[in-house]
Structure 1
């Protein structure tokens, strides 16, 4: 793909340093409290993210071991915990970070000697206010790239609905009783969870990278259709490509996909416009955002019948990102012919929106996912080789096609 350069890129170059400093989230997205080293943000890079998608019943007295996958490594870590969607203060009595035992992605066991206690302003426990995220102090644990971390949390109190990410496509673990966060062997973690609880981000210190890129999207980005617990979502595969670059061109990759997410309506979690600051623009070291959103606005209930509304949402995302010196890559909406919600009228809207993405000169660059995955013999459908069977999402091969279609040079000036 040809790189798209515009006059405003000169402005972006002048404020590159600002792109490395996560600003405060806007009020309508839920506020963010960064408690650790605000004066040294440029040394932190986002290595993993998930976006809060809703709430689940609290699990008082239990311990949850979240398994997360790094994109870049660093000399230390810090953890972001969230009560953004809760309705009462969240009391976390203990949080720990460890490396998962090597080569066993379905294991709750920590690598021997790797478990560390995370503190918040020097304390082992933390109370997270309603509507906020909080970030831990630096955790003295060297973090490899392309590795699994175990982030274990325990709360003894019922703090009301738990902020969580519904569709992790990753095995996480529950110990039903007691604080088991400091356990290296995971024998107490007898229940498997398909969700991430409370934990929404990991940053690393002094990463050999120029910053991070956020993938803002829906289930196509979240990972529906990819292999469970294998980290084969297209953002994971993009991270693998970026790791081959020199450090000054390398980026961490943050997955802000939410299954069912929409640009305009609060369905399948907060809308992309509502959560933009908290899930994308305020993350550590963010330099660019890739936007793959819109199919749920077109095919959802209620459906969006006016393409101009979708186009206006893209404009608002770009304006807000550019105000912070962050590049925006627009991704065309992929085909879904054969899916149960497909109609010719909705397809016409998709094609109109895609023409806008390609031709409106709005984005800093465009990645044409539609062209990369459609069936030349029937361009309203994705290629059968990429289809997990529902004609909307992507299997591992399709995820690879999406990741490979991104021109890495468009992510940085």
Structure 2
């Protein structure tokens, strides 16, 4: 359960997207009757459409898990951005190579650690059944469950896999402690006493949606800076978390950042390139209203270096075009400074400046967030302000992430 990833199998991006769309469509048909038959909602939160409240993009398969995690119950701790009276959960076998059986899946409001708040444990169903099989490369969406989900709170999504399944899909940079047991099905255990082992990654779960007062979803597509690298573990201080705090549940916020992710190339535990995963991680999420894009610095600074800004610009144009084709507003984020980072040089900086000039002046976006201007040092504009620097000169610290969130004009969302 350490979360070390193998390389992603080649040639699967298109089939994954299609399988997901088909699976979501089936789930929508199956759950419609369940929603109608359930009667009035628990609680009194005004309900609009579905909005995403939490997400973590599937990044890779856990290394050395050819049989998966049979007989494991894994209790993933996730943090909400919006509240509601109903919830549904998305589970992923994106990087699996064989069908994956979930024998028992539950959702609960967290009390502390692996313990669920009293009376909140819900068994999730899939087309009315408590067991579901997810094909290799696919995802499933649960039926809606009546549960009063608070905004800005932790939930527990627990999965039990009874049989060998093949490699386990996961998100490596959780900055959150979750829990597991190898001893069988404890998905419905409220006390959490059986969950004696810990993991620093998220397994299987990729999204939680709620139905409540939120009027849509903001998705933040990015790399480690969006994923929250170097933020305080367990404190939810990534910049999308801080943006959510400013919105007070009026919109859901989904984090589609993957550490190391690039626009143009795949990269092991860094996931499929942003264009390849756009449909899965953005376009089919719950009622997406706005997309904020902060991608490209890894294309510049990672090997092989992309020093032709036209290549990066081409990918950004395509992300904007595909999102707008789905009626999604797109906001561009400028690439933040990295002078002092271990491989920084003037050629790479020139590329960053050219990309940022395009983001600021091209006019293809519905709005621009100048993250670069927000965190740079006025005395040395190619570098991050020391007060915002985690120390590696590439990733912000908690204060830097707060500054990035504060730089987003809420009127753009």
Question: Taking structure 2 as the reference length, what is the TM-score of the superposition?
Answer: 0.89
Structure 2 partner of 1:126: 132
Q: 1:186 aligns with which of 174, 189, 192?
A: 192
Q: Distance in 1 between matches of 2:258 and 2:160?
A: 25
Structure 2 partner of 1:19: none
C-alpha displacement at 1:26, in angstroms?
Answer: 6.2
Q: Secondary structure at the match of 2:75?
A: strand
C-alpha displacement at 1:391, in angstroms?
Answer: 0.9
- Confirm or deny that 1:81 pairs with 2:72: no
1:321 touches 1:327 (CA, 8 Å); kept in 2? yes
Structure 1 partner of 2:160: 154
Q: Distance in 2 between matches of 1:201 and 1:131?
A: 16
Aligned length in residues: 377
1:210 touches 1:251 (CA, 8 Å); kept in 2? yes
Structure 1 partner of 2:247: 242
- After superposition, the CA RMSD in angstroms is 1.5
1:209 touches 1:251 (CA, 8 Å); kept in 2? yes
Q: Secondary structure at the match of 1:186?
A: coil
Q: Secondary structure at the match of 1:140?
A: strand
Q: Distance in 1 between matches of 2:148 and 2:251?
A: 18
Q: 1:204 aligns with which of 187, 193, 210?
A: 210
Query: After TM superposition, what 4+ stretches of structure 1 lie above 6 angstroms from structure 2?
Result: 39-42
Structure 2 partner of 1:404: 406
C-alpha displacement at 1:398, in angstroms?
Answer: 0.5
Structure 2 partner of 1:253: 253
Q: Distance in 1 between matches of 2:373 and 2:339?
A: 14
Structure 1 partner of 2:17: 29
Structure 2 partner of 1:326: 328
Structure 1 partner of 2:237: 232
Q: 1:91 aligns with which of 101, 124, 135?
A: 101
Structure 1 partner of 2:78: 68
Structure 1 partner of 2:304: 302
Q: Distance in 2 between matches of 1:45 and 1:360?
A: 30
Q: Secondary structure at the match of 2:219?
A: strand
1:332 touches 1:367 (CA, 8 Å); kept in 2? yes
CA-to-partner distance for each residue in 1:169-199, whole Å, 9 max, x for gaps? Answer: 1001111211010111112111110111110
Q: 1:204 to 1:342 in 2, by over 3 A?
A: same
Q: Distance in 1 between matches of 2:276 and 2:75?
A: 29
Equivalence map 1:42-57=2 (5 Å): 43-56=49-62, 57=65
Q: Distance in 2 between matches of 1:64 and 1:28?
A: 24
Q: Distance in 1 between matches of 2:319 and 2:382?
A: 27
1:26 touches 1:277 (CA, 8 Å); kept in 2? no
Q: 2:383 aligns with which of 358, 362, 381?
A: 381
Moved more, 25-34 or 180-189: 25-34
Gaps of at least 5 residues in structure 2 are: 1-12, 36-47
Q: Distance in 2 between matches of 1:170 and 1:282?
A: 25
C-alpha displacement at 1:305, in angstroms?
Answer: 1.6
Question: Taking structure 1 as the reference length, what is the TM-score of the superposition?
Answer: 0.89
C-alpha displacement at 1:43, in angstroms?
Answer: 2.1
Q: Secondary structure at the match of 1:276?
A: helix
2:49 touches 2:216 (CA, 8 Å); kept in 1? no
- Confirm or deny that 1:115 pairs with 2:115: no
Q: 1:382 to 1:241 in 2, by over 3 A?
A: same
CA-to-partner distance for each residue in 1:208-240, whole Å, 9 max, x for gaps? Answer: 121001000000000101110111110011011
Gaps of at least 5 residues in structure 1 are: 1-24, 245-249
C-alpha displacement at 1:30, in angstroms?
Answer: 5.3
- Confirm or deny that 1:364 pairs with 2:366: yes
2:16 touches 2:94 (CA, 8 Å); kept in 1? no
